[in-house]
Amino acid sequence: MIKKSSTGQRRSGENKNLPCKDCGQIVYNVDSNAVSTICWRCVNKQLNPNSLIASDLDPEAWKDLVKRKIFKLNGRSENTTAEGEL
């Protein structure tokens, strides 16, 4: 069965799920003709090795990041009540 995508390309078959060739996490809705794939996180790390993905941080690391970066940029001290509410 041949389908036509919204971009006008012809595709055959259904989408499938493949593991990322770098990290091994499952990438969903890959074209049925693909034999390997790379997830968006690994692409992001390849483009910028110093990048930080917020969803990969645990809650404590996220709080520390917010304290170090955001409050430092706004000039707040560590003793403000707004920071204690995080």
Residue 30 CA to residue 18 CA, distance in Å, equals 7
Residue 49 DSSP label:
T
Region of residue 52 (phi > 0: left; psi between -120 and 50: alpha; otherwise: beta) = beta
pTM: 0.56
Q: Which residues pair with 18 in a beta bridge?
A: 27
pLDDT recorded at residue 16: 93
pLDDT of 29 above 80: yes
Q: Where are the domains of the chain?
A: 1-51, 53-86
pLDDT tens per residue across span 39-66: 999 999 999 988 888 888 888 988 888 8
Beta strands in the chain (DSSP E): 2-4, 10-12, 16-19, 26-30
Higher pLDDT, 5 or 34: 34
